[in-house]
Copies of this chain bind each other. A is one copy, B any other.
Amino acid sequence: MNWKDLKKRKIDGNELVIAIAQDYEDKQVAMVAFQDKEAFDKTKKTGELWLYSTSKKKLWKKGEVSGNVMLVKQVLVDCDADAILYLVILTGGACHKGYESCFFRTIEGNVVGKKLFDPDNVY
């Protein structure tokens, strides 16, 4: 399946697919973001996760600043082909707030995730 076969959604003005990163080892969902064609193709070519930042409006290699890149082990696609599930090896915290996963707190605000680094030392 190539980029043309995926169902793009109009997200904040861009034609994107949803990209979920899940830890290949412990199955924790690490993050959810988006990909454009360039991010999709670069991920396929390099084996590292690339994304499209809707806030910065540009291609973005996950971990380009922190060094915590994500190494892609398996790529799954959902039934309506608008979302990709990347099973990845994490090389450090996924979250820019220092946590292993971006889903580090409950909806009630309780922190349940593991903190791996202090963002002030990294960004």
User: What residues of chain A have their CB less than 8 Å away from a CB belonging to chain B?
Assistant: 1, 9-13, 18, 20, 22, 26-29, 31-32, 54, 74-80, 83-85, 95-97, 99, 102-109, 112
| Distance from A117 Cβ to chain B, minimum over Cβ atoms (Å) | 14
Task: Indicate the member of A79, A84, A105 with the most B CB atoms within 10 Å.
Answer: A79
Q: How far is the CA of A41 from the CA of B21 in the complex (A)?
A: 27
Q: Are B106 and A78 in contact (CB under 8 A)?
A: no
What is the total number of copies of this protein in its complex? 2
**16 A-B pairs (CB sep. < 8 Å):** A1-B108, A9-B12, A9-B54, A10-B10, A10-B13, A11-B11, A18-B18, A32-B83, A74-B106, A76-B103, A76-B112, A78-B102, A78-B103, A79-B95, A79-B97, A79-B104
